[in-house]
């Protein structure tokens, strides 16, 4: 599966399944439709998310009425609290789940508008970490002056009763698993790895594994809105965070305040189509990188853009046969899977292209894989001591619950390989096989593809980037057509997401919306 992560290093987005080609990282890619054709059934294609009743059920009143007890976080300027939500909204009396919340109060000057909830994507990205490391200090000063900046780690993520699976060396082995099997033995090894990962999640996270869906996380956001004392929700979500925000709007359309959905996902698509679209997105981004690299006379992949893809694929093939040394203290070598993850990680933000060129140069000309390993480790959130965040476990848990699997077994992947490889000659094979992971998940999916209309909601700003690798622009177009009150804001450029990435036009448009409630004109484009 893949991870949809935003372009800022401190935030992540959901691949609608796909983030990196390595096993662990793949987002939604592994969690699409279960039909052999990869298309949604007519009923699923026509279904729209049904709003919840506008009155709060009596059984949920204690949650909606709770008062948050704020305390010092240990990070200057930030406060933290713990919020309770029902583990199972259908059975609120059967136990709670504790969710980590953080805020940075409005700094002034100017009258406080309310709370601004932020989410960086994933699924599996820590919203609290994102707030403390980026949003709470990096969002425009005029926005931070008027809003309390707030984040909640979604259920199963980071500080909110995190999903746990493999640890340390076992996770190292998982990320190095060959996801381009050449024969039955390697195919069996890939299936064994998916099964071992899934079994470890089931054994270590039995309590939460059935209750980490995006619908439940969106309902938690409404409980938080009430606990914060806000009549309506103001929210900025990036990548997978757009799916959370859109889901909230679909469930609670009359409680929508000012919503920004940046790097949008399309909820109407099954997992296989999501993964195929994302494969095309990474191919588009790679072509932009190829043209950029070819302009440099020392580009390690050559100076002919048309040959850069085949040259990179040939390099991956060599790594498949003979991994490179990296100087890693734990003895890891640069495998094809780790190298592919490193390359894909750099596709999220064009500012990483120079680092990628340097890493490829060192690997291809000096037989040193250290640079690409650094990129891969950053993608997986592996620290210097060999520990991993829970990004990958949470990513799989949410994606495999939200949608039926993209493929039910290796034979279905093999039949789909030609289409994936046509879509991306460099990444298609690995991304197709990476989409198999949810087939072995220990918990049955609870979600299906659906439209989100949110009839009656206030204007919602949907942001799409034309050459976004992880959330292709067509998804933003589709979501904006589904949402009854959407305004599509287009960024003509590279990279994943648009807000806060250097476009004055994008930033000023979104800031005006957040501060004054004035949505952009439909069809506005920025560069």
Mind telling me the catalytic residues?
239, 468, 496
Give residue 311's region: left, alpha or beta (phi > 0; psi -120 to 50).
alpha
C-alpha to C-alpha distance for 3 and 406, rounded to whole angstroms: 15
Helix (H, G, I), strand (E, B) or coil at 32: coil
Those residues whose C-beta lies under 8 Å from the C-beta of residue 120, and which sit 6 or more positions away, are 5, 6, 8, 10, 11, 12, 13, 126, 127, 130, 134, 135, 238, 239, 241
C-alpha to C-alpha distance for 164 and 198, rounded to whole angstroms: 10
DSSP state of 329: T
Phi and psi at 58, nearest 5°, equal: -55, -35
C-alpha to C-alpha distance for 428 and 280, rounded to whole angstroms: 8
C-alpha to C-alpha distance for 316 and 290, rounded to whole angstroms: 16
Cα–Cα distances (Å) from 346 to 27, 282, 376, in that order, read 16, 10, 9
DSSP state of 450: -
* Contact predicate 189/176, CB 8 Å: no
Torsion of CA 58, 63, 64, 67, to 10 degrees: 140
Rounded to 5°, angle at Cα 419 from 418 and 424: 95
| DSSP character string of 444-471 | -------B---TTPPPEEEEEEEE-SSS
Look up tokens 């200057």; give the residue: 76
Residue of 279, 283, 309 whose CA lies nearest to 294: 309
Torsion of CA 24, 388, 205, 102, to 10 degrees: -110
C-alpha to C-alpha distance for 372 and 363, rounded to whole angstroms: 8
Those residues whose C-beta lies under 8 Å from the C-beta of residue 316, and which sit 6 or more positions away, are 180, 336, 339, 340, 426
C-alpha to C-alpha distance for 469 and 473, rounded to whole angstroms: 9
* Contact predicate 201/209, CB 8 Å: yes
Query: Token pair for residue 316?
Result: 């991956």
> How many C-beta atoms surround the C-beta of residue 199 within 10 A?
15
* Contact predicate 389/21, CB 8 Å: no
Cis preceding linkage at 82, omega within 30:
no
């Amino acid at each position: 599966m893949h991870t949809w992560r935003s372009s800022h290093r401190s935030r992540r987005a959901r691949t609608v399944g796909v983030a990196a080609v390595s096993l662990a990282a793949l987002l939604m890619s592994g969690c699409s439709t279960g039909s052999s054709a990869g298309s949604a059934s007519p009923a699923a294609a026509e279904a729209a998310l049904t709003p919840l009743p506008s009155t709060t059920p009596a059984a949920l009143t204690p949650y909606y009425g709770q008062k948050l007890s704020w305390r010092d976080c240990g990070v200057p300027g930030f406060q933290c609290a713990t919020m309770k939500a029902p583990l199972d909204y259908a059975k609120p009396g059967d136990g709670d789940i504790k969710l980590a919340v953080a805020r940075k109060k409005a700094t002034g000057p100017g009258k406080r508008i309310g709370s601004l909830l932020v989410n960086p994507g994933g699924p599996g990205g820590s919203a609290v970490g994102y707030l403390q490391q980026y949003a709470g200090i990096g969002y425009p000063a005029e926005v931070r002056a008027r809003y309390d900046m707030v984040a909640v780690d979604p259920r199963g993520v980071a500080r909110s009763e995190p999903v746990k699976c493999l640890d340390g060396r076992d996770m190292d082995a998982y990320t190095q698993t060959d996801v381009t099997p050449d024969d039955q033995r390697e195919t069996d090894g890939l299936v064994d790895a998916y099964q071992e990962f899934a079994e470890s999640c089931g054994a270590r996270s039995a309590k939460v594994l059935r209750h980490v869906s995006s619908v439940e996380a969106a309902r938690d956001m409404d409980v938080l809105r009430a606990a914060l004392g806000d009549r309506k929700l103001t929210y900025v979500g990036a990548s997978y965070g757009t799916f959370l925000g859109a889901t909230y709007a679909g469930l609670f359309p009359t409680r929508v305040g000012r919503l920004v959905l940046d790097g949008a996902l399309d909820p109407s698509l099954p997992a296989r189509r999501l993964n195929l679209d994302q494969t095309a997105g990474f191919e588009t981004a790679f072509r932009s990188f190829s043209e950029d690299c070819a302009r440099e006379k020392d580009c390690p992949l050559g100076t002919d853009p048309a040959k850069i893809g085949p040259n990179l694929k040939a390099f991956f093939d060599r790594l498949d046969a003979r991994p490179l040394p990296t100087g890693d203290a734990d003895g890891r070598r640069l495998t094809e899977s780790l190298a592919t993850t490193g390359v894909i990680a750099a596709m999220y933000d064009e500012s990483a292209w120079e680092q990628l060129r340097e890493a490829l140069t060192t690997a291809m000309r000096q037989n040193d894989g250290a640079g690409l390993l650094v990129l891969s480790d950053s993608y997986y959130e592996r620290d210097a001591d060999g520990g991993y965040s829970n990004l990958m476990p949470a990513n799989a848990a949410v994606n495999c619950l939200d949608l039926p699997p993209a493929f039910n077994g290796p034979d279905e992947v093999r039949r789909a390989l030609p289409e994936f490889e046509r879509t991306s000659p460099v990444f298609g094979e690995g991304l197709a096989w990476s989409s198999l992971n949810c087939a072995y998940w220990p918990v049955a999916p609870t979600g299906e593809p659906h439209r989100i209309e949110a009839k009656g909601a206030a204007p919602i700003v949907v942001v799409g980037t034309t050459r976004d690798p992880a959330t292709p622009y067509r998804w933003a177009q589709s979501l904006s057509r589904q949402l009854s009150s959407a305004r599509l804001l287009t960024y003509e450029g590279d990279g994943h997401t648009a807000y806060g990435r250097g476009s004055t036009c994008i930033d000023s448009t979104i800031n005006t919306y957040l501060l004054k409630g004035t949505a952009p004109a439909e069809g506005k484009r920025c560069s």
